[in-house]
Amino acid sequence: MNPEAKLAELGVDLFDVQPGTGPVQPWVRTGNLLYLSGRVPDSGLKGTVGKDLTTDEAYQAARECAIGHLSVAKSALGDLNKIVRVVKVLGMVNAVAGFEEQPQVINGYSDFIVDVFGDKGRHARSAVGMSSLPHNVPVEVEVILEVE
């Protein structure tokens, strides 16, 4: 499966991401692993899931994180076809105490990645709840990719 062709079919446009000059970078490559820093929704969506936002709204926010990560990966690699497989996803959900649908929220990320990459998009994952996230975002996701 060609991930860039699939994104075009889905009508998804990626954007350029440049590394900064600070200590934290959008990606770090070591050997054949590409670590992508935590990504939040680019829409600016704010709120706590279970109070301000529904599980479905947070699912869409997690999908936005996946699109952002693919933009970072393309900027780092030049071509998404260099991704051998998605290895590990960590999804964090800003949720009210007692919220139990973190996996359903982070499925927004996982479902999109599998849609784009097929079997090589299937990954190990953790989906956890947080009492807060920076700037009151509903989700933050980080990912590890195996690359050529």
Chunked mean pLDDT (size 10), the chain, 148 residues? 95 95 96 98 97 98 98 98 98 98 98 98 98 98 98
Number of domains forming the structure of the chain: 1
In a domain, 65, yes or no: yes
Give the Cα separation of 83 and 13 in Å (integer).
18
Closest CA to 109 of 72, 59, 146, 54: 59
Joined together, the tokens standing for residue 118 give 């097929």
Q: Which domain holds residue 128?
A: 3-9+32-147
14 found inside a domain: no
Q: How far lies 12's CA from each of 3, 50, 68, 107, in Å? A: 11, 28, 11, 18
pLDDT in the model for residue 28: 97
pLDDT at residue 1, rounded to an integer:
81
